[in-house]
Structures are given as structure tokens and as C-alpha cells.
Amino acid sequence: MTERSTRAWLTPEIRQQAEQLIARMSLDEKVGQMTQYDWGFNPINPETGVSVRDLLRDEIRQGRVGSIFNLSGAEEANELQRLIAEHTEHRIPLLIGRDVIHGYKTVFPIPLAQASAWNPALAYRTAEAASRESMADGVAWVFAPMIDVSRDPRWGRIAESIGEDPLLTSQYSRAWVEGSQVADAPGQATASCPKHYAGYGLAEAGRDYNTVDLSDRELRDVILPPFREAVEAGALSIMASFNEINGIPACANEYLLKTILRDEWGFEGIVASDYNALQELIVHGVAGSEEEACELAVLAGCDMDMHSGFYMRHLPKLVREGRVPASVVDTSVLRILAVKIKLGLLEQPFVEVPSVEAAEAARVQFTALAREAAQQSIVLLRNEAQVLPLQKSGSSIAVIGPFAHNRKDPLGCWAFDGKPEDVVSLLDGIRHAVGSSAAVHYAEGCSVSVDTMAASGLTEANIEQVLEAARQSDVVVLALGESLEMSGESRSRTSLDLPGAQRQLVEAVAALGKPIVAVLMSGRPLALPWLEQYASAIMQAWHLGVQSGNAIADVLFGDYNPSGRLPVTVPRSVGQVPIYYYRKKTGRPPGGVYSSYYIDSTTEPLYPFGYGLSYTAFQYSAITVSDASIGVAGKSSVSVTVTNTGDTAGTEIVQCYIRDEVASVTQPLKKLIGFCRLQLAPGESGYAAFEIGERQLAILDKDMKRTVEPGRFTIWVGPNASSGDAVSIVVE
Ligand code: NOJ
């Protein structure tokens, strides 16, 4: 079996320094380290008029706070660290956290978009840039990456995820953890916080915070691999999820927090609860009181209490009464102090307030990265009669729709620090690209917001403007999608259609018979089979961040040849959900009456996982296997040649999938085991090889042991989960 190892960071020196501090701390001070508050929450209590921040300042002065999050910049961070330095005995700096999900001030594409690049190395760079920007504001702890395998587009948090596949998510998990954990100098370093551990993406019916019920097999096969990867990459913390696993909410779940995380994986960092999750133990109905909730969480291995204040209120008493051993508190405090020491906060808790010039210079560099990331995030779904790329000169282009000249929504969910004025709208991106060589006609048509999701909003005057813009043009670019408030936390939907009057807008424009290019700016995959009737080209552009308009224009005009591939299956209808490629055969695969099918729909998706078009064509040939027969501990490899047969340079994302044909437990029809990017000039051929060994072949057998079982394996190499050439390997 392959040896897996966790990157060791808790050195004997760090441990010793932490232990020496602990030996001098009072119980209250220790529990203070385990306590975290949201600084941005309700600054003034509306009932009492008391400033919550003043109360928190008092708590900080008394050494009763270990971490704060949601501060607003370097000055505020320094002010609070000064309270610690001037008023507390042991001067243990605050660990300042923040939700830095896809960029800080420079907003990069939402994670689901970045996942569409199938380029973890690029995510490493965006994560690093985000950490550097936030670090300059005193943030030493970013609550990212979000690595919940997400298979339900109704769930708004799919936008924050890497999509449906454990391997793709695992590769991004490692890159994101490594990229975001900057370690420049003492006090110039950041910790990551992979989340939400575990299973949060499987909320029933796609409704956020809903019950999760999953087998240990699914947990270990699908949900945990990205977390294991994060731990092995050296993640300094992990956030426990809101949901229950096997009836026990994650922050009180010993099986998750101890058995798996500590005993099996050797994780040494901080386990933080999610927001107010200790309080929610009472709401879930597993704790009858605050004290009980506190006891359950701390004994299960939750080191830090996010915002409920329960630890601070009750833990000292529980220790004094012997209900919680003092050693449990010491162990949690050791982890928290170790992370602070590792980040160099004890040496340098303050940050230098960056000069305007320095901040500006960094922004320029990050803006170029934002454009690169946005270009790679775009997935071309349809391009009939090669309507794309568009000509820049001599043409007339209509740019229509609620997202055409919109600078807010491309920021996406979780972009509190991004500013709409930094966003390049699609209209502006197109105008910059064509200059004076093409005529551009703009009309908004209708607006879209959560409050008007079902409303029409399309007046006759609007329609007239839209038709006027379209009539004057050779081609219509329709910017459609969802506003930023429609995805992210607590933003579940029951429909996967375009909200508001957008379909009417499409139909009205289509009646003119001009070629339509639909640009979908959404936080989730939308089920729009009807759109194919009207749009010659469809581009999934997600919420792309500050460089949205430039990147989309780059693709529209062929300055960037699209290379994005779907990290999620796109359903035909909400009724097919959950639909994902990594599914089981069942005893009755689809194929007629009394099979696993629908009487009113195909079981096939609209677009499969891994799918995406290019302006060039790639031909796969010569799939070969190095050893068609190997032993259980043997190795083989599968390779292909890919040729760019078009006349444009392009990038193909070559994907390799496996199926274990007969095993002791049912296996998925296909499982992604590798992928690579080939950048090919016209006429050029490239070679892709994928290793086949224990890591790719092993399954959890009926006794839950990782085993390579003898038998036949089918291996596909191709451009997406629904196609490709196959070979077989026999394991003897
Ligand atoms: C709740 C969310 O689930 C989590 O992702 C986030 O980091 C915390 N709130 C803090 O804002």
C-alpha cells in the first residue's frame, strides 16, 4: 500500500515554546485562546445601544480572546494587537482570520470557475496572491479552501467549491493550501483553513444546512480525500462543518475529529467550529444546554469555538468540576499556540500599514493574474457554425442583458472586500477589445435580483431598446445568469432556470434571427436545454471577478482560445439532480421499462463532467498500455498521442478515467484518476501518460480496507467523462 505522510510542521522547538507558555497561563487565559469572535457582527446592539466591539475590546484586554475575524484593515488589526501587547500578561497575539475565498481586494474567479481551468497550479498562484493581499491587512488566517465535493447545483455553496469530483478537488485542495500558506517572515505568514469538514455539500435537497446522511464508504471514498490531501499538504487548521454525520454534528463528532483526523491522518493543527456551531448543537437537539454543548464539542476535539462564546462562558467551570479534563484544554491550546508560533506572530504581531504606492504596485500584478485566471475559467459549451470567435473589425455587435454592463455581480459570492468599480464589465471589455473598429450597441433589457427572481421586469420600452440594439448589429452577445446574491451560503434554489425575465429576453431577441452568443454568468450550473434552440454559441463564464469583461472579450474575439472544462455535470432539468458522472451502475442501468430511467426525460446530462470546446480540434490516437497484465502491487501506464488538427494554437485537457469491472463492492462506472494540460500549436502532437498503480486501482473492500483486487479494469483517456478511447488492464 502507498505510504502517505503528513507534512510535519509542529517541531519540537515549537512544541516546547508552546508548552512553556501553557505552564504559565491561567485556566481562563487558556480558554481565551480557544475563543474566537466575529468583529464585524452587529457592532452596536440595537436593544441596549452598547457597542459590541467595546465589549470585545474589554475581553481582549483581559486575555479572554484568541482569535478575531472580519476586521477591516491593517490599522484595526494593529489596534487590537496593541491591546494584547499592552494589557495582557503573556502577550499572545490574536490570530486574525477572514473569509478570503477567491481573492481579497483583487477578486479572482469564484472557486467553481477556477476549478473549470483544471489548473491547480494557477489556483496556487491566486491563493498566494489573496493571502499576500490579506496578510498586508493583518490577516494571518484565511478560511479557505472550500473543498466540499458538491454534486447538487441547487446548493448555493457549489459556487465556492471545486465541483463534483474527489480527485480534481483533492488536487486543488493541495495547491490552494500550499499557495495560501505564505511564509515570508515572522508575522508575514498565513494559515489556511480547509472547510467544511465534512460532508456539508451533501445537504439533502440542496437546501443549505439541511441534514446529511451518508455512508462511511461514501464519506471515505468521495468526501474525505480532499481533506486528507489538505492535511498532507500541511494545512494548519480545519473548519468543522455545520452538518451532522451519522447523527452527530461535525463539531461534536469524535469519529471525524479524533478517529479520522488525528489518529488516522496525524493532523496537528487547529480544529475550529463553524460560525456559532456550538449554539447549533442545542438547535440540532444533541445538547440540552450551553454547558452540555461545550462539553460535547471540546471532548470531541474541537479546539476553537467560533463566535458562540460558549467555551469562555462554561469551559473553565467544566474543568473545575472535573467534567472536562484539564489536559483536553491544554492539548487544544497547544495546537492554537503552535500555529501562532509557526506564523511568527509572537515575534511580530503588527503589520506595516502598506503605502498607497506599494498597494497599487501589488494590485497591477494581481490584476494581470486575475485576467489569466478568468480566461482559463471560461468553458465554451456550444459553437454552432463557428459563430465564435467574433471579428473585431468592420462588424456591429449588440451587447444585451442584465449582466452586460454590470460591475457588481461578476464579483460573485464571498467577495466582501471587492469593489464593483474595480470590475471590468462585459460591455467595457468588448469596447476595449474592438476600439473604434466595430460598432457596439448596448441595452440592459431587464435587471435581475433576488427580490425580483420571478418577476418579469421586461417592459415594452425595454424590449424596444433591446430590439433596436439587436437590429443594428450582425451578432448579439447576450449576458445572462444570476446575481451574486443567488449563490454562496444560504442561497439554495429549487429552479436551475434563468431567473426573472431573461428567457423572454432571449426569445424576443431570437425572433430577429440574428446569431446569438449567450454568455452565462452564474454561480452554479444552470439547466437550460431550451437555450440551444436560440443561441449559436453558449459560454459558461461563471462569476469571474475583477477582470470578467476583459477575459470574456478575450475569448469572444479569439485572443484567448477557450480551454476550460466543466468541473460539474450540467443537468437538463432540476429533476435529474443529483446527477454526476461518478455514479454506480445499479442492478438496472437505464435502458427501457423497469430500468433506472425516467419516463419523461433522458438520464443523460446536458453537458458531461469534463466537457468544453476549443476553437481548434484535437485528435486522440494510439492509446496504449505499457503492461496489460500486472500483479496487485504492480504498475502500468496508459498513454495517448493528441494532435491539434486545427489552425489555432490551443490547450487540451486530457482526462483519464478508470472502472473496476468486478469488485467485492459496487464501484463507480468511471472515476477520474488523472488529467493533464497539453498546449499544442497547429499541427503539433503531444503525449500524455497516466500512471496506473495502487493509488489508482485500490478500492475500499467489503471490510473497508484499501485493497487492489485482482480482475479487469477498463481505462479511458479522452476529452470528457462521456467519451474517450478505452484499454484494459488485468490485475492478477
Ligand atoms: C459560516 C461559513 O459556513 C464558513 O464558511 C465561514 O468561514 C464562516 N461562516 C465565517 O464567516
pLDDT tens-place string over residues 273-282: 999 999 999 9
Mutational test site, ligand 1, from 195, 200, 242, 273, max ligand atoms within 8 Å of CB: 195
Kindly tell me if the per-residue pLDDT of 43 is higher than 90: no
Ligand 1: atom nearest CA of 200 is 3
Facing residues of 440 across strands? 397
Mean pLDDT value across residues 423-452:
94
Kindly tell me if the per-residue pLDDT of 717 is higher than 80: yes
pLDDT tens string 470-521: 999 999 999 999 999 999 999 999 999 999 999 999 999 999 999 999 999 9
Facing residues of 650 across strands? 680
* Higher-scoring residue by pLDDT: 50, 251: 251
pLDDT tens string 168-201: 999 999 999 999 999 999 999 999 999 999 999 9
342 touches ligand 1 (CB under 6 Å): no
Name the pLDDT band for 354 (thresholds 50, 70, 90): confident
Least-confidence region, from 6-15, 111-120, 600-609 = 6-15
Strand order in the sheet with 35-38: 141-142, 95-98, 67-69, 35-38, 305-306
* Beta strand ranges found along 240-283 (DSSP E): 244-245, 248-249, 270-272
CB atoms within 10 A of CB 686: 18
pLDDT tens string 122-169: 999 999 999 999 999 999 999 999 999 999 999 999 999 999 999 999
Mutational test site, ligand 1, from 37, 70, 141, 239, max ligand atoms within 8 Å of CB: 239
pLDDT at 475: 98
Name the pLDDT band for 114 (thresholds 50, 70, 90): very high
280 touches ligand 1 (CB under 6 Å): no
Facing residues of 676 across strands? 654
Distance CA 211, CA 163 (A): 20
Nearest to 487 by CA among 568, 421, 430, 426: 568
Nearest to 441 by CA among 453, 456, 430: 430
Ligand 1: atom nearest CA of 70 is 11
Q: Measure 144 CA to ligand 1 centroid, in angstroms.
A: 10
Kindly tell me if the per-residue pLDDT of 368 is higher than 80: yes
Distance CA 337, CA 78 (A): 19
According to the 3-state scheme, what is the secondary structure of 462-512?
HHHHHHHHHHCCCEEEEEEECCHHHCCCCCCCCCCCCCCCHHHHHHHHHCC
Residue ranges of alpha helices (H) inside 183-235 are: 216-218, 225-232
pLDDT at 1: 45
148 touches ligand 1 (CB under 6 Å): no
pLDDT tens string 583-606: 999 999 999 999 999 999 999 999
Q: Measure 275 CA to ligand 1 centroid, in angstroms.
A: 6
Strands 35-38 and 305-306, by their bridges, are parallel
The CATH architecture annotation of domain 618-731 reads: Sandwich (2.60)
Distance CA 436, CA 392 (A): 9
Q: Measure 341 CA to ligand 1 centroid, in angstroms.
A: 24
State pTM to two decimals.
Answer: 0.98
Strand order in the sheet with 725-731: 629-630, 725-731, 711-718, 650-660, 671-680
Do residues 505 and 466 make contact, with C-beta atoms less than 8 angstroms apart? yes
CB atoms within 10 A of CB 106: 25
195 touches ligand 1 (CB under 6 Å): yes
Mean pLDDT value across residues 308-322:
98
Do residues 252 and 285 make contact, with C-beta atoms less than 8 angstroms apart? no
The CATH architecture annotation of domain 360-565 reads: 3-Layer(aba) Sandwich (3.40)
- For 338, the grid coordinates are 503552535
Mean pLDDT value across residues 228-234:
98
Q: Judging by beta carbons within 10 Å of its beta carbon (0-12, 13-18, 19+), is residue 339 exposed, middle or buried?
A: buried
99 touches ligand 1 (CB under 6 Å): yes
Kindly tell me if the per-residue pLDDT of 353 is higher than 90: no
Q: Measure 396 CA to ligand 1 centroid, in angstroms.
A: 46
CB atoms within 10 A of CB 700: 16
Name the pLDDT band for 230 (thresholds 50, 70, 90): very high
Place of cell 451532522: 244
143 touches ligand 1 (CB under 6 Å): yes
Kindly tell me if the per-residue pLDDT of 2 is higher than 60: no
| CA dihedral (160, 166, 172, 175) positive or negative | positive
Identical fold, 25-342 and 618-731? no
Chain-wide mean pLDDT for the chain? 96
Report helix angle 52-61 to 74-87, nearest 10.
40
Q: Measure 352 CA to ligand 1 centroid, in angstroms.
A: 27
Distance CA 556, CA 515 (A): 13
Q: Measure 237 CA to ligand 1 centroid, in angstroms.
A: 14
Residue type (1 letter), 539: M
For atom 10 of ligand 1, which residue has the closest CA?
Answer: 275
For atom 4 of ligand 1, which residue has the closest CA?
Answer: 274
What is the H or E stretch that residue 411 is in?
none
37 touches ligand 1 (CB under 6 Å): no
The DSSP annotation for 169-194 comes to: HHHHHHHHHHHH--EEETTEE-B---
Mean pLDDT value across residues 447-458:
78
Fold that domain 25-342 belongs to in CATH: TIM Barrel (3.20.20)
Ligand 1: atom nearest CA of 143 is 7
According to the 3-state scheme, what is the secondary structure of 649-717?
CEEEEEEEEEEECCCCCCCECCEEEEEEEEEECCCCEEEEEEEECHHHHCEECCCCCEECCCEEEEEEE
pLDDT at 386: 96
Q: Measure 312 CA to ligand 1 centroid, in angstroms.
A: 20
pLDDT at 458: 82
Do residues 114 and 377 make contact, with C-beta atoms less than 8 angstroms apart? yes
Residues with a catalytic annotation lie at: 274
CA 614 → CA 102, 447, 555, 571, 617, distances in Å?
26, 31, 10, 21, 7
Name the pLDDT band for 715 (thresholds 50, 70, 90): very high
For the chain, the residue count is 732
Name the pLDDT band for 455 (thresholds 50, 70, 90): low
275 touches ligand 1 (CB under 6 Å): yes
Mean pLDDT value across residues 555-580:
98
489 touches ligand 1 (CB under 6 Å): yes
| CA dihedral (645, 646, 649, 653) positive or negative | negative
Is 75 strand, coil or helix?
A: helix
Q: Measure 346 CA to ligand 1 centroid, in angstroms.
A: 26
Do residues 500 and 453 make contact, with C-beta atoms less than 8 angstroms apart? yes
For atom 9 of ligand 1, which residue has the closest CA?
Answer: 275
Ligand 1: atom nearest CA of 241 is 3
Distance CA 716, CA 728 (A): 9
Is 271 strand, coil or helix?
A: strand
Strands 711-718 and 706-707, by their bridges, are unpaired
Do residues 383 and 613 make contact, with C-beta atoms less than 8 angstroms apart? yes
Nearest to 423 by CA among 374, 379, 377: 374
407 touches ligand 1 (CB under 6 Å): no
Ligand 1: atom nearest CA of 146 is 5
pLDDT at 273: 98
- For 313, the grid coordinates are 462562558
Domain boundaries, the chain: 25-342, 360-565, 618-731
Per-residue b/e over 109-146, b at no fewer than 16 CB within 10 Å? bbbbbbbbbbbbebbbbbbbbbbbbbbbbbbbbbbbbb
Name the pLDDT band for 69 (thresholds 50, 70, 90): very high
Do residues 367 and 398 make contact, with C-beta atoms less than 8 angstroms apart? no
